[in-house]
Structure 1
Amino acid sequence: MGQLNQFLPFVLMFVVIYFFMIRPQQKRAKQEKEFEGALKVGDKIITKSGLHGKVAELAETTVVVETMAGKLKMERSAISMELSASLAKK
C-alpha cells in the first residue's frame, strides 16, 4: 500500500499532462490534416506567413496559389487553417 501511495502522484501527473497537453495537440494535428486534404481549386486561403491568395492547382503535397503578384508553389502545410477559416466566414 505504501508503494502505491508513492507512485500515485506520478500517474496522476501523467494523466493531467495527457489530457491538457498531448491529446489537444493530437486533435489539432488531425484537424489540420483534414483541412489540407479538403482544399480545392478556387478556395481563398491565407498562408502562415500572411500571404493571401486563391488555390489555382493542387498536387499531392504542394499547392499553386494565385496571388496579386503571380503564382506561387508551396507546401500544403504552409496554409493556415485558422486564418483561412476566418477568411471564408467573411
Structure 2
Amino acid sequence: MEGGAIAQFLPLILIFAIMYFLLIRPQQKKMKEHQAMVDAVRRGDQVVTQGGLIGKVSKVKEGENEIEVEIAEGVKVRVVKSTIAQVLNKTEPAK
C-alpha cells in the first residue's frame, strides 16, 4: 500500500520540481538582479522608468525609496526606485 501512495504523489512532486526550476528560481534571480541594479543607481546615470520616461538621475535620496530624475532641462520628477526598468548609461565611480 505504501508504494502505491508514493507512486500517486510522484507526478505531483515532479511537477512541482519542474515548476520550481523553470519558473520560480529564474524569477527570483531576475528580482535579485533588478534590486542590485536599483541599489547601484547613482547621480548622473541615465535611466528608463517602467512608464517609458528617459532621464538623468539628479539626486539619489539615501534611505528613501525614491530618486530625482531630470527628464528635460529644468524639469525634474521624483521617481520610486523600484520603477526603474533599465540603466542606459552608467557614470564612472568617483575615484
After TM superposition, the score normalised by the length of structure 1 is 0.87
Runs of 4+, deviation exceeding 2 Å:
none
Q: Percent identity over the alignment?
A: 39
- Counting matched residue pairs gives 85
Structure 2: state its 5+ residue gaps. Answer: 91-95
**1:51 corresponding residue in structure 2:** 53
**1:19 corresponding residue in structure 2:** 21
Structure 1 or 2: more strand by fraction: 2
Q: Secondary structure at the match of 1:41?
A: coil
Q: AA paired with 1:79? A: I
Q: Which structure would you say has the larger Rg?
A: 2
Query: How far apart, CA to CA, are the structure 1 residues paired with 2:40 and 2:49?
Result: 16
Structure 1 range deviating more: 14-23 or 61-70: 61-70
Q: AA paired with 2:89? A: A
Query: How far apart, CA to CA, are the structure 1 residues paired with 2:53 and 2:12?
Result: 45
Pick one of 62, 68, 71 that aligns with 1:64: 68
Q: AA paired with 1:37? A: D
Q: Secondary structure at the match of 2:17?
A: helix
Aligned-residue CA RMSD (Å): 1.5
Pick one of 72, 76, 81 that aligns with 2:81: 76
Pick one of 40, 43, 60 that aligns with 1:41: 43
Q: CA deviation at 1:88?
A: 3.3
Structure 1: state its 5+ residue gaps. Answer: none
